Structure 1
Amino acid sequence: MVSLKNILTHILQAHDFEVYEKDGVLRGEKDGAIVTVGLYDNITVKEIRAHAGYVSHEQGNHIICVLEANETAEEEARALGLTIWKRSDLETELGMAITDQIRTGNTIFKGLLEQPQAPIESHPLIIENLGTEGQPNVLKTHLTLDDVKEIAKNTIQGFKYELEFVPHYIFNYSCSYEGKDGQTVQRSGTISVNALTGKFSEWVHQPEVDTETEHVIQLEPKIDQDNAEKIAFHAIITLNTEYKEIIIERDHATIMERATYKPEMGAIVLEHQVIVMVPVWCAEGKHGVMILDGITGKVISEDYYDSH
């Protein structure tokens, strides 16, 4: 199996960083910018504090890359000024480092090198740009066959590749709720629901419609619109949930409780609905199989063989 270190090295080099390792920490340097990356399969709060102390004297952006991390560890990392990358972030960045999006700068990694922006509570609505009449829109893939081969080479050593088009329900939404700071939070965005598996995700990219779709097979949805809407409501609540640790003194004991802040069903509005066909690459290799989103380059799923 390709090591976490090799994957991060590949990502850093894709951004033209000079990469080296010092004291078990991966480092990248480019035009005076410095990035440090601590690599962990899983991590504890104690390890996060130790890592923060180790890199605190260095200028630059400090990343912890971890395959598994609980919410307490994530919150501790952010409180100490560390950027935490989990498996999903790593998969996204690996895919985007291969595609044309890296040349336009639209990656989470490059965002670390830019001036901090004010928090954005909403994403632009997408459906109006897709249209709602006629046959489902087929979205253009940004991953070429060569891109997929490169990604698979660094993971499963791929040898077989197929491009498929999967139907997705797309919903624009808006919601409001009382946030953990006591202020009213208003958010809006776009949710996609896979019409075959029911998996959801939030869309922040602007897709392109493919006009050359003569040979595209449009699969029939296995999930109807009513169930897709139920999944979308669940997704919106999940994606817009905040937590806050509250310390309570009770009977000479200190108790820590977690308060949850999230939108109620009645405060959520689904504004439009349309079906689009999303390009998906399926790659089979010596060490397993993987499925990649043809638009974002993100690894949707992967299954390694036992011998891998």
Structure 2
Amino acid sequence: MDYSPYPRNDVLCIDMRSFYASVEAVKLGHDPMKVMLAVVGDPNRPGSIVLAASPPFKKRYGISNVSRYFELPNDPNIIIVPAHMEDYLKVSIEITKLLHNYAPQEAIHQYSIDEVWVTVNGLQKLFGDRWEIARKIQKDILNSFGITSSIGIGDNKFLAKVVMDLHAKKSGIAECKYEDVPEKLWSTPVQDIWGIGKRMMKNLHRMGIVTFGQIANYKLEHLQKRFGVMGEQLYWHAWGIDLSPVFGDFTKHEQKGFGHGIALLRDYTKEDVPYCILDLCEEACRRARTAGNAGRTIA
């Protein structure tokens, strides 16, 4: 692949490790990377979902963000705390403000409450190369908030995000340039790549595609015929190419869809399910009406 026609940017993808659990640990005076702590939606309900767990807790007991409160082990060393969403939002906003010390607003794209892209083009004279900037930001976040972060560095947003997910969460900081794609990404199972869900994974497996590299070496026209625009995007991503804008106003101005979801506190019977679906439909429709919109497609 000749990468010369494609833009090269200095993009960082920054993820706060176990963000909710880290915020709660710092509030209680603990080291988030050592304490055994879990954040539960409502500790008064055994079926309440575990929103976050500290890294050592995850590692020792295999706890995930889909675990339930009653599934947690009976260990006196575990600290259980209720969720405080307002606190997490405040810390997220303050971290974003910190990032404005390194890059202008148009170079910062908030992806979620605990994850953000930052484009650091042209900042070498101020802060050094992109590795040096990543180290400084990581240290600044730790010193200011007590939170450990993982940072992926890439020539575009996709590479920065994927190398963060696959490598930086183990090493702290990781980099993937265009030329690194075959070595660092191609052996990865398709389901571990950002943007590939369970349904797409099953479709790819039916085609004999198991690893990310097999997508890159599949014929583009066949992927386009099977998946349309998504097939084309999969192909170019497999070669590390992503033309998403790295500067601009990333604020979502128009909501094109309305949905609603809940975490069930128990297993629902066949008789219970219609009532649950009705509640979800009524809430989604209420939000659409409030915004003055009508739907054309229902899923």
TM-score (structure 2 length as normaliser) = 0.23
TM-score (structure 1 length as normaliser) = 0.22
The structure with the largest strand share of the pair is 1
The structure with the largest helix share of the pair is 2
